Amino acid sequence: MVAKITTPKSAKAALNYNEQKVHKGNAEFLYAGNCLREAGEMNFYEKLEVLESLNSLNKRAATNTLHVSLNFSPGENFSDNKLASIASAYMDKIGFKEQPFLVYRHEDAGHPHIHIVSTTIRQDGSRINTHNIGKNQSEKARKEIELEYNLVKAQAQQESLRESIKPIILEKVMYGNAETKRSITNIVSAVYSQYKYCSLPEFNAALKQFNVTADRGKEEGRIFKNRGLVYRIMDAKGNKVGVPIKASSIASKPTLENLEKKFASNEVLKMPLKQLVKALIEECLKKPITNLKSLQAALEQKQVYMLLRQNEEGRMYGVTFVDNKNKCVFNGSDLGKGYSVAGLQARLTGNENKKQLAEKTEVKPEHNFIKNVALLSAHDNKLQHDEKIIHPSNKKESLLEVLVTPTTEYPNMPYSLLPKKKKKDKKYNLSIKR
């Protein structure tokens, strides 16, 4: 079992969160602990009154609400009564035995989990100290409940959830199909914690394949100047849509400051994976691929997402590879010259030339047949032409007769046997001019 504790700004905010889930059919109000009415008899305002009546006794308390989620392993399926019993035991062990609490069973994730909403204000107006409650009281309670109810232990459960995160959480988000914040939170948290990236563009390359982007805003804007970061959903054309979600409002805290801390450590962690990514690309380049789109499709079969970066004019200036199997991100230029946009295009052009040359040199059987027929036809025509020259009468004769018919030949005499010509003596004029 994994327990997560938060302290919302108000009881109404925590209650609204769970009631909206119930309204959408993603949750069920399961149990009302230390309340005068049963769960099925209470409406929203009666639930809120239970919490607010105690919170009003202490106006000085900055935080007066407790919101807990107890998460179980995907293989654990419990009845409503057992879930209510676990919730009661947990609240007792963390010091909330006398406090009213409301239990909701949620069904919007790949593993069973419940949410508990309570107040930190006692009936005498004093406040229950929640400082380090997660590290101290909650951790002890969790271990005791795991043994008491024979639950899957937290470490084994986290490994199970990590293995199942791809099919359950990392699904492409389309604006309007799911709750924006929940969808963004699931994807960002998974990429933030599991992938190895060394810059914001690399982090965004991993997010983009799930239609999410981390946005710093315009350079002259307030968010950029204050080193803020928001996350947004992107449509099929790459346009930002929907309400932006602040990085600080996500539980994993994927803020710009925390991302920059990961950049340095990831630089070392992803280096051993560099050769693996190059090997996958080389394997695809051995195929008869002649353009970047075909290479992109081939890499997708290897669980490698290839992002081509373009400027406003549509000219490609960069490429990034996201290895979803090994959870790492590399710019093409970081892998080597041959893996940049220019390098890949040159190599693919070479493949195209090889393909064209192979098509030219390759002689298909039917082409051989046609070529042979043409040669035979030309030879036959030549023979007929020779017959006409040798036999002006155009009398049809067989090929054998043509071959054995004697013909007059005029062989040339060798130069050495030709009669030698006599040289004429040159007469010199010896007369002397006077």
Q: Tell me the pTM.
A: 0.51
Same domain, 265 and 276: no
pLDDT in tens, 53-65: 999 999 999 889 9
Same domain, 91 and 13: yes
DSSP 138: I
CA distance 339 to 320: 9
| pLDDT > 90: percent of the chain | 44
Give the type of residue at 204. N
Same domain, 146 and 280: no
CA distance 413 to 106: 112
Tell me what pLDDT residue 54 has. Answer: 95
pLDDT in tens, 307-333: 998 887 778 888 999 999 889 999 998
Residue 34, domain CATH: 3.30.930.30
Same domain, 113 and 25: yes
Same domain, 34 and 144: yes
Same domain, 97 and 14: yes
Nearest Cα neighbor of 301 from 310, 290, 289 is 289
pLDDT band, very low/low/confident/very high, at 287 (cuts 50, 70, 90) = confident
Tell me what pLDDT residue 309 has. Answer: 85
115 located within any domain? yes
412 located within any domain? no
CA distance 13 to 213: 27
Q: What is the largest distance, in Å, between two alpha-carbon atoms of the chain?
A: 165
- Of 40-44, 87-91, 133-137, 376-380, where does the model show the most confidence? 87-91
* Higher pLDDT among residues 372 and 21, named by residue: 21
Same domain, 291 and 252: no
Same domain, 228 and 112: no
168 located within any domain? no
Question: What HEC string does 231-276 produce?
Answer: EEEECCCCCEEEEEEEHHHCCCCCCHHHHHHHHHHHHHHCHHHHHH
| CB distance 218 to 224 below 8 Å | yes
Residue 415 pLDDT > 70, yes or no?
no
Same domain, 79 and 125: yes
Instruction: Indicate the residue among 243, 269, 295 that finishes a domain.
Output: 269
Q: Which pair of structure tokens corresponds to residue 296?
A: 């992109």
Tell me what pLDDT residue 423 has. Answer: 62
Residue 210 pLDDT > 60, yes or no?
yes
138 located within any domain? yes
Same domain, 88 and 210: no
Domain extent, residue 103, equals 2-157
144 located within any domain? yes
404 located within any domain? no
Same domain, 249 and 302: no
163 located within any domain? no
pLDDT in tens, 240-283: 888 899 999 888 899 999 999 999 889 888 988 999 999 999 99
Q: How many CB atoms lie within 10 A of CB 148?
A: 12
Tell me what pLDDT residue 403 has. Answer: 62
For the chain, the C-alpha Rg in angstroms (whole number) is: 42
419 located within any domain? no
CA 101 to chain CA centroid, Å, is: 42
Query: Phi, psi (5° rounding) for residue 105?
Result: -95, 125
What's the structural domain count of the chain? 4
